[in-house]
Amino acid sequence: MAILSAYRTTVGKKIVMAVTGLIWVGYVVLHMFGNLKFFNGAGDGLGTINAWAHFLRVFGQEVVGYAGVLWLARVVLLVALVLHVATAIQLKRLNGASRPVAYQRRGYLQTDLPARSMWWGGVFILMFVVYHVLHMTAGTVHPAFVEGDVFHNLTVGLGEPLAGAFYLTAMVALGLHLYHGTWSVFQTLGVDVFDRSSAIRRAGQALALVIAGGFMLVPLSILLGFMR
Amino acid sequence: MNLTLKVWRQEGPQAPGRFETYAARDIEADMSFLEMLDIVNEGIILAGGDPIAFDHDCREGICGMCGLVIDGLAHGPRQCTTCQLYMRNFRDGDTITVEPWRVRAFPVVKDLVVDRGALDRIIAAGGYVSAGTGSAPDANGTLIPKPDADAAFDAAVCIGCGACAAACPNGSAMLFTAAKVSHLSHLPQGQPERYARVVRMVERMDEEGFGGCTNHGECAGVCPAKIDMGVIARLNRDLLVATLKGGG
Amino acid sequence: MTEVMQTPRIKRMTAAPAWGESDAQPDGHVPPGPIHEKWQKHRFAMKLLNPANRRKYTVVVVGSGLAGGGAAAALGELGYNVKCFCYQDSPRRAHSIAAQGGINAAKNYRNDGDSVYRLFYDTVKGGDFRAREANVHRLAELSLNIIDQCVAVGVPFAREYGGLLDTRSFGGAQVARTFYARGQTGQQLLLGVYQALERQIERGAVTMYGRHEMLDLVLVDGVARGVVARDLVTGAIEPHAADAVVLCTGGYGNVYNLSTYARGANATAVWRAHKRGALFANPCFVQIHPTCIPVKGDYQSKLTLMSESVRNDGRCWVPVKPGDTRAPGAIPEAERDYYLERMYPSFGNLAPRDIASRAAKRVCDEGRGVGPGGLGVYLDLGDAIRRLGEDVIRARYGNLMEMYEDITGENPYRVPMRIFPAVHYTMGGLWVDYNLMSNVPGLFVGGEANFSDHGANRLGASALMQGLADGYFVLPATVPDYLARAGSVPLSTDHPAFRTATAEVEDRARRLLGIHGSRTVSAFHRDLGKLMWDHCGMARHDAGLREALARIPELREAFWRDVRVPGEGGELNQELEKAGRVADFLELAELIVTDALHRTESCGGHFREESQTPEGEALRDDAHFSYVAAWRHNADGPPVLLKEPLVFENVPLAVRSYK
């Protein structure tokens, strides 16, 4: 009950944003780590991305069956995503309603682009996630999807300049989102990290750059012709 | 120096507002922003007009009564109260836009005067120690480590001007609320009600129609009392603990 | 102890007397018995009210500072139905908030010889023997409880590393009895009061009327039974009935226009009460603070105080030669006059406020003042910076130095600060008895609004002490006692007394709005302020006071003929608010000058040039003036003087000397 009543407050909602966001931060770190295996080439040999994809499906199958862990993760991620988005929409409404008349002139002293782009950047990332699942997981919008051959799906799918550019743009948005979001998690959970010299704040921002950069390596290498 | 002012005029809470342009002539660098407005108002009165209504009282930066958004910044560019902003921060020929605090929870009363009763009601929800008059033990009966007393003081200096909410892109009053929560939660006297207090104050803050905090930090950027964003982290932590304890 | 020399009294002009005199003596109702037992015995003698019956009594409290806010919260806690009024939007903005230095209490935590009796003694002596002993002793007793209460509600006083409360010495006291919260003690104390008040508002015990201004006191059968207030947002004139009325509306220093007061601070509540019959005591006792930032120009709205603490390290000086316009750095050491050190070698730069203010005026009168208009002296931290280093000075006074630089645009680490005295506090106010009740039954007055416990001069860190003593402890004891004795007499605001008062208030607003003259309210206020500062400021003399007495009525007449108040009554109209306040200042000013004229002695903040020692120090005249001058309003003629004799049974009369 206490949790529900806390959720009704803006601060409670922020805690939900923080916790669900943190789950996704953990996920994208793993995802990015997996993506880097792309550079080990095609096929399903040791260390390749195809082997990694296979591993994710067979991991823990003795207990929960084939792809069980993967589906479990997907359910957790989906729940987290739904909560993150639903809460974001509620907060956006509250925040939007809090100033019915806008300032004629608006100046800023502290806030930065990452902080101000959280909403529209988030909307963009959400659109990308839907597209990305259809593109790389379900394959429905992929020109030549092959179940299990991740290397092939990547090189073909991201080889299309439009899809590659969309991917890259989404990663810029993700980088910005995480640049503000990662350290904000700590602030929201009660650790004072607002100071720009705070180690946690800097680590969060560094992580955001590493994640976005890591993700961008794959499409860049394909589009620039390093990987075929 | 001579300046052009674009000032928000609004006859009442329901009336539509508009910008009016005024010339401020022969303004001296040593004048405060409010003294400059005094001069403009004297001109308006003698010309048969209705002077610009604005709040002010102590004119020494402590009462928290004054507050104008000047060129898009709450209290103007100097991180001080409007009354402590001096005209030497402007240049001859400048055009200055002057607006009221724009937050739904602060309805405009007239022109640049807004109703900040919401801030009082947040305090009324729990921003105190419930110690009746005359019931106090000896002042030195409870030792308070100096760092705690200092941290409490750093938060307690809030002047309640509302610039934090006015500057926040989300119209949130978190810095105000968190300053009081943090002040009392650093002191032994504040402990018995610590977790109930934070829940009640945050709920009241929301009921008043303020937005939520997304860690922009604009509030701390304009705060004339220089309250630190750390108070918000502390409020968040206290609320989280209150939730986990099932309190509230 | 020295027997005070008597000066011949200046003979009053016989033609048109500026005042009348009455033989009636207001009764201070000081309880009998030894001084340290008076309050405790008196409290026991008070009547109590059953908690269940308290709700039937309504108390109107006007003002929400330390005294008003404290009383409203405490009376609400006790169960009375309280209505609290303030002109600001929130009770948290009362001007108690601006006090910087600290609050005195005889805790003797330092083991340096302090005691209730010593605080009592210091305050009576510091007030130049013009306060009522019994009140001051009670104040000193209650100082102990005040600190306890403030800590209990979460006031973050300065602490030592061991966790105990820190204290410092202040205002010339030889013991360290001043508790403080950096340079914002008043703010922190007021927020403690405000939070307690908000708690009672939430409970429904106190109804808060922010942005409301009391414009008249309502008497029924000679008893205070309510107020008429204007809702400053809607302009509505509203009657409020009550069983008792408590005025804690602060001082009247804004009569002088330029002061360290808040711009909105005004005398309307006390002046209206005075016109309804309340005696006004010692109006000429005005404190002028020595260390304020000097006036810059006609446009100026406010004088800012620099905490006296700077005088601990700063040295006051002016050039030796009159009219020396060289930059301070270009004036060699030999051509500087460190006048406080020269005149008061033992106290030097730490001489008390009234003495330091007058010394600054004296050197400026000699043409040796510095800065625009020659109205300023240097407060030079140069020696201290050379001796201790800029970092130490920055750590001690950093905030003050920043404030000075913001206001003046000058860097005080390079160029000596310029300071000048400014009106800061009024010791005078409505006359009250030991119960803080005026001569009008049911009308109580607390804090700076009453004539107070400070006599003719208030010591540093004593204003906060008095505000909280009145608000937290005295009024919550004496008001219930009065209510219990008076009983609950229902009263509707339909009573003719309310209708008459409301009509008068409305009529006055209409008159102000109907003049359509050619000058603004502020212009009149500036004229009045200058007149008062020039003729009834730091030094006063018969001819100057008489000139002021002639010119104030002319200015008042011009105001009512030629002021321009725009807009209407039924809206937020800040010019109308100001006009009402200045109209009252124009009347009160005359009483201040009359009081200053009648008191031909010098004492505390009141310096009559005719009454000084050969060395130019203030000379008291105890044989003729050891009384409280309580003035009765007289609609048909000059005010009437009543004298409450002051008897000093515990603190022997002595000359203050700081040589």
Q: What is the pLDDT of residue B247?
A: 53
pLDDT category of residue C373 using cuts at 50, 70 and 90: confident
Residue B231 forms part of a structural domain: yes
Tell me, yes or no, if B127 comes closer than 8 A to chain C by beta carbon.
yes
Query: Which CATH number belongs to the domain containing residue B176 in this structure?
Result: 1.10.1060.10
Are B75 and B194 within one domain?
Answer: no
Q: What is the pLDDT of residue C8?
A: 41
pLDDT category of residue B231 using cuts at 50, 70 and 90: very high
Query: Which CATH number belongs to the domain containing residue B80 in this structure?
Result: 3.10.20.30
Is the Cβ pair B228, A194 closer than 8 Å? yes
Residue B91 forms part of a structural domain: yes
List the chains bordering chain B where 3 or more Cβ pairs fall under 8 Å. Answer: A, C
pLDDT category of residue C296 using cuts at 50, 70 and 90: confident
Are B122 and B237 within one domain?
Answer: yes
Are B85 and B68 within one domain?
Answer: yes
pLDDT at residue A61 is higher than 60: yes
Is the Cβ pair A187, B71 closer than 8 Å? no
Encode pLDDT of B99-138 as tens digits.
999 999 999 999 999 999 999 999 999 999 999 998 899 9
Residue B136 forms part of a structural domain: no
Are C55 and C162 within one domain?
Answer: yes
Percent of chain B with pLDDT over 70: 99
Rg of chain A over Cα atoms, rounded to whole angstroms, equals 19
CA distance C604 to chain B (A): 26
> Looking at chain B from residue 66 to 105, which residues have their Cβ under 8 Å from any Cβ of chain C?
78, 80, 83-84, 86, 88
> Looking at chain A from residue 15 to 74, which residues have their Cβ under 8 Å from any Cβ of chain B?
15
Neighbours of A56 (CB within 10 A): 15
- 3-class state of residue C79 by DSSP: coil
Is the Cβ pair C472, B134 closer than 8 Å? yes
Once rounded to an integer, what is the mean pLDDT over residues B41-51?
Answer: 97
Residue B23 forms part of a structural domain: yes
Once rounded to an integer, what is the mean pLDDT over residues C575-591?
Answer: 98
Once rounded to an integer, what is the mean pLDDT over residues A179-206?
Answer: 94
Is the Cβ pair B59, C301 closer than 8 Å? yes
* Greater model confidence, C538 or C655: C538
User: C424, C441, C459: which is the final residue of a domain?
Assistant: C424
Residue C653 forms part of a structural domain: no
Q: Which domain holds residue C362?
A: 289-424
Are B88 and B154 within one domain?
Answer: no
Cβ-contact C603, C111 below 8 angstroms: no
Nearest to A190 among B71, B102, B236 (CB): B236
Tell me, yes or no, if B207 comes closer than 8 A to chain C by beta carbon.
no
Element (H, E) at A82: helix A68-97
Residue B63 forms part of a structural domain: yes
Are B35 and B125 within one domain?
Answer: no
Span between the terminal Cα atoms of chain A, in Å: 55
Q: What is the pLDDT of residue C258?
A: 95
Are B94 and B161 within one domain?
Answer: no
Predicted model pTM: 0.96
Are C142 and C267 within one domain?
Answer: yes
Give Cα B109 distance to the centre of its chain.
16
Is the Cβ pair B217, A12 closer than 8 Å? no
What's the angle, vertex CA A134, arms to CA A128 and CA A139, rounded to 5?
140
Is the Cβ pair B217, A107 closer than 8 Å? no
pLDDT at residue C201 is higher than 70: yes
**What are the chain B neighbours of A177 within 8 Å (beta carbons)?**
none
Are C269 and C301 within one domain?
Answer: no
Once rounded to an integer, what is the mean pLDDT over residues A15-23?
Answer: 96
List the chains bordering chain C where 3 or more Cβ pairs fall under 8 Å. Answer: B
Total count of domains within chain B: 2
Residue C499 forms part of a structural domain: no
State the Cα–Cα distance between residues C432 and C247, nearest whole angstrom: 11
Q: What contacts C248, CB < 8 A, 6 or more positions away?
A: C61, C62, C63, C64, C65, C67, C68, C69, C71, C445, C446, C447, C449, C467, C470, C471
pLDDT at residue C12 is higher than 60: no
Once rounded to an integer, what is the mean pLDDT over residues C485-511?
Answer: 96
Are C304 and C397 within one domain?
Answer: yes
Is the Cβ pair A98, B205 closer than 8 Å? no
Return the residue matching tokens 């680590």: A203
Are B54 and B39 within one domain?
Answer: yes
Nearest to B45 among C109, C233, C566 (CB): C566
State the Cα–Cα distance between residues C181 and C192, nearest whole angstrom: 12
Is the Cβ pair C198, B128 closer than 8 Å? yes
Are C265 and C406 within one domain?
Answer: no
Are C177 and C196 within one domain?
Answer: yes
Over chain A, what is the mean pLDDT? 94
Whether C130 is catalytic: no
Residue C639 forms part of a structural domain: no
Q: Which domain holds residue B7?
A: 3-110
Q: What is the pLDDT of residue C6?
A: 39
> Looking at chain B from residue 120 to 149, which residues have their Cβ under 8 Å from any Cβ of chain A?
none
pLDDT at residue C419 is higher than 90: yes
**What are the chain C neighbours of B83 within 8 Å (beta carbons)?**
302
Residue C586 forms part of a structural domain: yes
**Is chain A adjacent to chain C, meaning 3+ CB pairs within 8 angstroms?**
no
Are C187 and C321 within one domain?
Answer: no
State the Cα–Cα distance between residues A48 and A38, nearest whole angstrom: 6
Q: How many CB pairs under 8 A join B and C?
A: 220
Q: What contacts A86, CB < 8 A, 6 or more positions away?
A: none
Encode pLDDT of B215-226 as tens digits.
999 999 999 999
Rg of chain C over Cα atoms, rounded to whole angstroms, equals 24
Are B85 and B151 within one domain?
Answer: no
Query: Which CATH number belongs to the domain containing residue C441 in this structure?
Result: 3.50.50.60
Encode pLDDT of A68-87 as tens digits.
999 999 999 999 999 999 99
Chain C residue closest in CA terms to B134? C149
List the chains bordering chain A where 3 or more Cβ pairs fall under 8 Å. Answer: B
Residue C571 forms part of a structural domain: yes
Encode pLDDT of C501-520 as tens digits.
999 999 999 999 999 999 99
**What are the chain B neighbours of C182 within 8 Å (beta carbons)?**
153
State the Cα–Cα distance between residues B1 and C364, nearest whole angstrom: 31
Q: What is the pLDDT of residue A77?
A: 97
Are B82 and B161 within one domain?
Answer: no
Are C563 and C450 within one domain?
Answer: no
pLDDT category of residue B245 using cuts at 50, 70 and 90: confident
Residue B177 forms part of a structural domain: yes
pLDDT category of residue C205 using cuts at 50, 70 and 90: very high
Looking at C138, C353, C581, C632, which residue is catalytic?
Answer: C353
User: C604, C621, C638: which is the final residue of a domain?
Assistant: C621
Once rounded to an integer, what is the mean pLDDT over residues A24-46?
Answer: 95
Q: Which domains does chain A have, with CATH numbers?
A: 2-223 (1.20.1300)
Query: Which CATH number belongs to the domain containing residue C541 in this structure?
Result: 1.20.58.100
Q: Is the Cα torsion angle A22, A27, A33, A39 positive or negative in sign?
A: negative
Tell me, yes or no, if A102 comes closer than 8 A to chain B by beta carbon.
yes
Are C181 and C263 within one domain?
Answer: yes
Q: What is the pLDDT of residue C1?
A: 36
Residue B158 forms part of a structural domain: yes
Tell me, yes or no, if A108 comes closer than 8 A to chain B by beta carbon.
yes
Q: How many CB pairs under 8 A join A and B?
A: 168
Encode pLDDT of C56-78 as tens digits.
999 999 999 999 999 999 999 99
Encode pLDDT of C604-651 as tens digits.
999 999 999 988 889 999 999 999 999 999 999 999 999 999 999 999
Total count of domains within chain C: 3
Are B123 and B101 within one domain?
Answer: no
State the Cα–Cα distance between residues C14 and C104, nearest whole angstrom: 46
Are C207 and C220 within one domain?
Answer: yes
Q: What is the pLDDT of residue C168?
A: 87
Percent of chain C with pLDDT over 90: 86
Q: What is the pLDDT of residue A196?
A: 86
Are B206 and B91 within one domain?
Answer: no
Over chain B, what is the mean pLDDT? 96
Residue C21 forms part of a structural domain: no
Pairing of strands C206-209, C81-85: parallel
pLDDT at residue C319 is higher than 80: yes
Are B121 and B209 within one domain?
Answer: yes
Q: What is the pLDDT of residue A2?
A: 65
Is the Cβ pair B71, A105 closer than 8 Å? yes
Is the Cβ pair B211, A10 closer than 8 Å? yes
Are C148 and C265 within one domain?
Answer: yes
Q: What is the pLDDT of residue A228?
A: 77
